Structure 1
Amino acid sequence: MRRFSLLRWVLALLVTYPFAPALAQKTKPIAKTTAAAAVPPAASAPLGALFAAYWDEQAKLFPLAATTQGDNRYNDQLPNDQTQAFRSQVQSFYQKYQAQLRKNDRKALSVNDQISYDILDYDLSTKLADLQQPTWMLPFTQFASFPNSMGQLGAGTGNQPFKTVQDYDNWLGRVGGFPVWADSAIGNFRRGMRAGVVLPKALVGKMIPQLESFVVTDPAKSLFYGPLTKFPATFTDADRSRLTAAYQKAISTQLVPAYARLAQFLKTEYLPQARASSGIGAVPGGPAMYAQAIRFWTTTALTPAQLSQTGLAEVKRLRAEMEKIKTQVGFQGDLPAFFTFLNTDPRFTPYKTEAEVLAGFAAIQARMAPNLPKLFGRVPRTGFEVRATEAFRAASAAPQYSRGTADGSRPGIFYVPILDATKFNTVTNSAMETLFLHEAIPGHHYQVSLQQENTALPKFRRFGSYSAFNEGWGLYTESLGRELGLYTDPYQQMSALILDIHRAIRLVTDVGLHTGTMTREEAIRYMLANEATSEQFATSEIERYMSLPGQALAYKVGQLKIRELRARYEKQLGPKFDLRAFHDEILAGGTMPLAVLERRMDAWAVRQR
């Protein structure tokens, strides 16, 4: 579910929380090729002023989101979004701009302004609807955790800049707001306990050790000590001494006590009252919360029943494709036995070190690079890197992409959890070629970077995020492997099917969990029966869906819409259909609700005739 908090904005703007471990496989910025899609014109003056004012004001309200986007004006601020006063302020803000937007005659606007109008109006309506749900009683979970994101920001290698003395002082200002935030979150958890709106026990048990990992007696052992080990050479001895003392004090007197209070509260008060049920439908008002979560994440009016049926049909289709691969490679045995073979045969765990895994991803990029111009005319200027997920969150993390900045000061980063390189399976959970297509190139890196680099778009479109579009695009690009020179090995073809069926399973299990037709244990068993994965991974995934209802639906819903549009235009346009132009046009307008995308692409198809 969406929480109206600083974390909510970070989740909306990122595929993951950005934080960089020390080890990285770097690449040069990607070269730009000839554009194949027209860049949308800038907004007309009146609407342009409205869009600019909206974006500037929301940056003040959500300073963490501003930091993520490279807007460093508010890097010292951490407002307490856990209060009713803050939620009321946000509601008034959205209502004000929706009223101003609707004063414009939509029919009199240019085509591009109509698209911007529709996107902003949809966004404001959705956010106002979110505010009506009591999700503030569930401030964070083991997966969507602002306390964890504080650690990622404060380590010194993520979105929070640590380049100047002012940068270091800014972080101290942000840290100063965290104890109040933590105490207010505890208060909201307690309100939820009284109302019966509580988290599942299985999730709370994972949250406690996460928080306890931040509780240290020696400040130098804290993740937040990281910036002190990487002072820029230009800092004076006086600045280094002052900042070191200030950071040690902040860690000992502000951060560690706040994390300790959160952990102790969850362990002694909250866990005993956490619920045994798995889905949000079991709490008071839960069905309405889930319905709103579906609308938010999928940008559609699909019902739980429709989503579940789609998932079941996709699982059936993809299992049939897997059977073909099994027959092709000559495996004797049923599909579950094939899954076991893929998970255990040594040929699929070829690496010994983390560096070898990262080099493997670099090799995939090199193989596909010559074929990219065949499918894309417009490519990003933003740099790109593959990095190992930092150790403190790797155990519960999935492979993820973190957006770079539009000015190129921070590259886009594909994070890969590598707990043990010798167990890094290239076909099943780690499906290397498929993951690279989705999380990196031409998936999220192309989609996010091209959007941010397009200065003709208003900023709410340049830096906005709709998971159904973003994740739908990422999942769609997994199907481009053959056209990009990958999937030459039937086992890598199998890996693509494994990841695709995983997203279909999400439709079945997410709906099952949150409508009460599946327990946590039943959902885990369903996943294990239908894909080649481990019980540990399946458990982590199911608990992710439990923590963020509806989010897992976005992938398959978005993918199916993009596939539907491609098939429609291939049929309509025949020899006039240009796949490269189709891809460029989808990405040219940036992220948007699926209905708006469909109208925009239908108009593009008409122009192609």
Structure 2
Amino acid sequence: MSTFKGRHLLLLGSALLAGACQQTGKSGSGAMQDSLQHIADRYYADFLILNPVQATFNGENQYNDQLPVDISESFRAHSDSVYARYQEELKGIDTAVLSGNDRITYDMLQREFAISREALTFHDHLMPVQQFTCLPITLAQLGSGSAAQPFKTKKDYENFIGRMKGFAAWTDTAIANMRRGIATGYVLPASLVVKTIPQLKDLAKKDTAANIFYAPLKSIPAAVDVAAKPQLVKDYTQAIEQYILPAYDRLQQFMEKEYLPKARTSSGINALPDGREYYNFLIRTWTTTNKTPDEIFALGEKEVARIRAEMETVKNSTGFKGDLPAFFASVRTDKKLRIFKTPQAVLDSFRAIENKIMPGVKKMYGHLPKTKFEIRQTEAYRAASASAEYQPGTPDGSRPGIFYVPILNAADFSYAGMECLFLHEAIPGHHFQFSLQQENDSLPKFRRFTWIGAYGEGYALYCESLGKELGLYTDPYMYFGRLSDEIHRAIRLVVDVGLHHKGWTREQAIRYMLDNEPVSEQEVTAEIERYMAIPGQALSYKIGELKIRELRNHYTNTLGSSFSLSSFHDELLKDGCVPLSVLEQKMERWAKK
């Protein structure tokens, strides 16, 4: 799970730091802390205006009609000025008088502004469309009527009409940017471009039964006045056919006829003009560390070797006589691991896992989230390129947290990895982490809704290791599925750096993954192409998990009988996503108490 932020051209007015201090009527450390709180509050308000789509996902619905052209040069320049202004305001804060929690806020704001400004010096806006995560895919999710965008009132429908209009303008800028990218060497690999074309083609079809954008018209709520429905249906349909379908068609035609012939044959971003510098930046962004690509590559190889040794032990316990690659092949094809006949049976099996672990989870965690939780099948239009994922709910309870499972063919769905997948994406993984963070109204709002991959994905991967303690992994194939998922994250350290730093081809990365884990070539190809599309993101899981496991082991040993696992977990989660260095500091403060 990851969050990708957009930006918006408008900006709320923000007071000068001195003005904020004067308004408090305080002096000394109290005024300083209030000033920091004012900066944090104003930044979050400005962030929502810069990022109205993210605001919708946060349950902040005041900008649900807005869709900025966040890839334009003017928008990017304005965003930079906003971050620069807040950087200046932070210079007025005396960090020596801040409390522990306020210091976390200060450090996170400082990092946010610096990272956001540095990101704008690179040129990802010249490659704004790819197969895994981009606005054309996100907009389709929002327009489905079953995601974060509300469709409860007439105004809600009118709001999305506003976003449909905005998407037409965004599309024209995207095409212009990609033409600039062609001219300057910033283009996607051809293997990714070919995956975007059918996605865009499906979303450009005037098919009221199948096109996801027509879905909200099939279930207009009873709260919408009956007399207003015919005109609303007419206006909404007209907006789809005037803005959405032509925009997706323009994108699809451009990608197929003009962009694909100019796409590059290389796989990694090191082939771009500033690709090496950009990859180093992305490593710092996603891992919140200063590890070098070569250090990460070596760590990945070490972890792969360690997990392969454990896989050998599990393989032998099943009575299998061949070597590990042969066992991989067996697991990929063994029909006894494919027990499902319908998508509903797959979803029901995940619900059974939830019921099994909850008594143990309640002992491991003192503080459980209030946000409701659902398991859903991934929508057909994006299932072929999707991984299982979690989408957070809203603190007000209007939308539950959702665990999405792509099921292309239930008969091909292996049960071997289901337990660890649920622990990671759902409970106690992403659902607990996101929900507890968002529900904690003692945090500044920007911290309640922020995302730091090394912490968030690292914690979710750590949760996979809790399976035996929760009564799971009793079936050796289920435990092998756990090891398969763990080695998958270790392999990512190798192949991500291989692709983007060492010059590996897509095919080399696919072969390395196939040699070291029991997944199909189709699944591996989708994974490798995901890493090609979002470089560095895949590094965050294993880097973060190793740090969290290190902390648990350290405090288990040093605190001895006074160590409480539920207290450790509650402290780990209570402050939300934080950089790994901040996590170490706050856990040390907890241990001293």
- Structure 2 residue matching 1:249: 3-state secondary structure: helix
Separation in 1, partners of 2:364, 2:264: 49
State whether structure 2 residue 107 is matched by structure 1 residue 107: no
Structure 2 counterpart of 1:388: 377
State whether structure 2 residue 362 is matched by structure 1 residue 373: yes
State whether structure 2 residue 256 is matched by structure 1 residue 270: no
Separation in 1, partners of 2:580, 2:4: 23
Separation in 2, partners of 1:238, 1:315: 63
For residues 148-186 of structure 1, give each alpha carbon's deviation from its aligned partner in whole angstroms, at most 9, with x where no partner exists: 111110111111000011111111111111111000001
- Structure 2 residue matching 1:6: 3-state secondary structure: coil
Q: Structure 1 3/293 Cα, relative in aligned 2: closer, same or farther at 3 Å?
A: farther
Structure 2 counterpart of 1:442: 428
Structure 1 counterpart of 2:131: 142
Structure 2 counterpart of 1:360: 349
The question of whether the paired residues in 2 share the 8 Å contact of 1:4 and 1:87 is answered with no
Separation in 2, partners of 1:252, 1:589: 45
Structure 2 counterpart of 1:36: none
Same amino acid, percent of matched pairs:
51
The question of whether the paired residues in 1 share the 8 Å contact of 2:286 and 2:539 is answered with yes
State whether structure 2 residue 141 is matched by structure 1 residue 152: yes
* AA in 2 matched with 1:448: F
- Structure 2 residue matching 1:177: 3-state secondary structure: helix
- From 471, 484, 503, the equivalent of 2:457 is 471
State whether structure 2 residue 531 is matched by structure 1 residue 553: no
Alpha-carbon offset, residue 3 of structure 1? 11
Aligned 1:232-271 pairs, distance under 5 A: 232-271=221-260
Structure 1 counterpart of 2:510: 524
Structure 1 counterpart of 2:66: 77
The question of whether the paired residues in 1 share the 8 Å contact of 2:369 and 2:435 is answered with yes
- From 415, 425, 435, the equivalent of 2:404 is 415
State whether structure 2 residue 494 is matched by structure 1 residue 505: no
Alpha-carbon offset, residue 461 of structure 1? 0.7
Separation in 2, partners of 1:348, 1:223: 33
The question of whether the paired residues in 2 share the 8 Å contact of 1:282 and 1:516 is answered with no
Alpha-carbon offset, residue 521 of structure 1? 0.2
- Structure 2: segments with no counterpart, 5+ residues: 9-29
* AA in 1 matched with 2:279: Y
- From 337, 340, 359, the equivalent of 1:351 is 340
Aligned 1:305-344 pairs, distance under 5 A: 305-344=294-333
For residues 281-336 of structure 1, give each alpha carbon's deviation from its aligned partner in whole angstroms, at most 9, with x where no partner exists: 01101101101111111111110000000000000000000000011111110001
The question of whether the paired residues in 2 share the 8 Å contact of 1:4 and 1:81 is answered with no
Q: Structure 1 595/5 Cα, relative in aligned 2: closer, same or farther at 3 Å?
A: closer
- From 175, 185, 192, the equivalent of 2:164 is 175
The question of whether the paired residues in 2 share the 8 Å contact of 1:153 and 1:160 is answered with yes
Separation in 2, partners of 1:375, 1:592: 21
Q: Structure 1 3/599 Cα, relative in aligned 2: closer, same or farther at 3 Å?
A: closer
Structure 1 counterpart of 2:520: 534
For residues 67-103 of structure 1, give each alpha carbon's deviation from its aligned partner in whole angstroms, at most 9, with x where no partner exists: 1111110101111112111001111111111211221
The question of whether the paired residues in 2 share the 8 Å contact of 1:219 and 1:251 is answered with no
State whether structure 2 residue 469 is matched by structure 1 residue 480: no
For residues 357-411 of structure 1, give each alpha carbon's deviation from its aligned partner in whole angstroms, at most 9, with x where no partner exists: 1110111111111111221101100000111111111111111000000111100
- Structure 1 residue matching 2:465: 3-state secondary structure: helix
Q: Structure 1 82/517 Cα, relative in aligned 2: closer, same or farther at 3 Å?
A: closer
Separation in 1, partners of 2:575, 2:4: 26
Q: Structure 1 280/588 Cα, relative in aligned 2: closer, same or farther at 3 Å?
A: same
- From 466, 479, 482, the equivalent of 1:493 is 479
The question of whether the paired residues in 2 share the 8 Å contact of 1:82 and 1:184 is answered with yes
- Structure 1: segments with no counterpart, 5+ residues: 9-40
Structure 2 counterpart of 1:515: 501
For residues 582-606 of structure 1, give each alpha carbon's deviation from its aligned partner in whole angstroms, at most 9, with x where no partner exists: 1110001110111111111112112
Aligned 1:570-585 pairs, distance under 5 A: 570-585=556-571
* AA in 2 matched with 1:146: L
Alpha-carbon offset, residue 218 of structure 1? 4.3
The question of whether the paired residues in 1 share the 8 Å contact of 2:7 and 2:75 is answered with no
Alpha-carbon offset, residue 348 of structure 1? 0.7
Structure 2 counterpart of 1:6: 6
Alpha-carbon offset, residue 352 of structure 1? 0.8
Separation in 2, partners of 1:4, 1:335: 38
- Structure 1 residue matching 2:289: 3-state secondary structure: coil
Alpha-carbon offset, residue 4 of structure 1? 8.5
Aligned residues between the structures? 570
Point out 4+ residue stretches in structure 1 off by more than 4 angstroms. 2-5, 218-221
Structure 2 counterpart of 1:209: 198
Structure 2 counterpart of 1:603: 589
Structure 2 counterpart of 1:285: 274
The question of whether the paired residues in 1 share the 8 Å contact of 2:268 and 2:503 is answered with no
Separation in 2, partners of 1:444, 1:78: 27
State whether structure 2 residue 582 is matched by structure 1 residue 593: no
* AA in 1 matched with 2:176: G
Alpha-carbon offset, residue 134 of structure 1? 1.4
The question of whether the paired residues in 2 share the 8 Å contact of 1:297 and 1:466 is answered with yes
Structure 2 counterpart of 1:22: none
For residues 261-289 of structure 1, give each alpha carbon's deviation from its aligned partner in whole angstroms, at most 9, with x where no partner exists: 11111111111110000000011011011
Aligned 1:185-200 pairs, distance under 5 A: 185-200=174-189
The question of whether the paired residues in 2 share the 8 Å contact of 1:4 and 1:131 is answered with no
Alpha-carbon offset, residue 219 of structure 1? 4.6
For residues 483-541 of structure 1, give each alpha carbon's deviation from its aligned partner in whole angstroms, at most 9, with x where no partner exists: 11111111111111000000000000000000143110000000000000000000000
- From 31, 45, 70, the equivalent of 1:56 is 45
State whether structure 2 residue 388 is matched by structure 1 residue 399: yes
Separation in 2, partners of 1:385, 1:314: 33
For residues 421-445 of structure 1, give each alpha carbon's deviation from its aligned partner in whole angstroms, at most 9, with x where no partner exists: 1111011xxx110000000000000
Alpha-carbon offset, residue 120 of structure 1? 1.1
* AA in 2 matched with 1:151: A
Aligned 1:122-137 pairs, distance under 5 A: 122-137=111-126
For residues 541-571 of structure 1, give each alpha carbon's deviation from its aligned partner in whole angstroms, at most 9, with x where no partner exists: 0000001110100000000110111111122
Question: Which fold has the larger relative contact order, with Cα–Cα distance below 8 Å and residues 6 or more apart in sequence?
Answer: 1
Q: Which moved more, 1:372-381 or 1:439-448?
A: 372-381
Q: TM-score, normalised by structure 1?
A: 0.92
* AA in 2 matched with 1:522: Q
Structure 2 counterpart of 1:95: 84
Alpha-carbon offset, residue 235 of structure 1? 2.1
The question of whether the paired residues in 2 share the 8 Å contact of 1:5 and 1:82 is answered with no
Q: Structure 1 3/284 Cα, relative in aligned 2: closer, same or farther at 3 Å?
A: farther
* AA in 2 matched with 1:212: K
